């Protein structure tokens, strides 16, 4: 650390570690969730999109498929946002 750094660092402490921690907590939680999802889920999602697209125009990211395991039952959650009516 040089004389210059010493004064610069005093003025502006870069507290970026807390940002790093927050980002990590979010992405790690997200990826852990995906890890427990069965392998067939992406395929299932694609086929649901294909079926819906036959009837209405939707974007890929307007369809959310998630499998939630609660004790002894699994809930398949399907969330489709349809475009606004013209």
When the beta carbons of 35 and 54 are compared against another protein, the nearer one is 35
Rounded to a whole number of angstroms, the minimum distance from the CB of residue 31 to another protein is 7
Site string for another protein, 9-28 (x = CB under 8 A): x---xxxxxx-xx-xxx-xx
Cβ atoms of 20 and 27 within 8 Å: the answer is no
When the beta carbons of 37 and 62 are compared against another protein, the nearer one is 37
SS3 63: strand
Rounded to a whole number of angstroms, the minimum distance from the CB of residue 19 to another protein is 9
DSSP 2-34: -HHHHHHHHH-----HHHHHHHHHHHHHHHHHH
């Amino acid at each position: 650390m040089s004389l210059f750094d010493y004064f610069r660092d005093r003025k502006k402490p870069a507290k970026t570690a807390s940002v790093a921690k927050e980002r990590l907590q979010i992405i790690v939680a997200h990826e852990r969730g995906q890890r427990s999802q069965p392998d067939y889920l992406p395929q299932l999602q694609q086929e649901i999109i294909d079926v819906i697209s036959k009837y209405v125009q939707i974007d890929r990211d307007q369809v959310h498929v998630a499998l939630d395991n609660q004790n002894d039952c699994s809930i398949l959650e399907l969330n489709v946002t349809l475009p606004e009516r013209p």
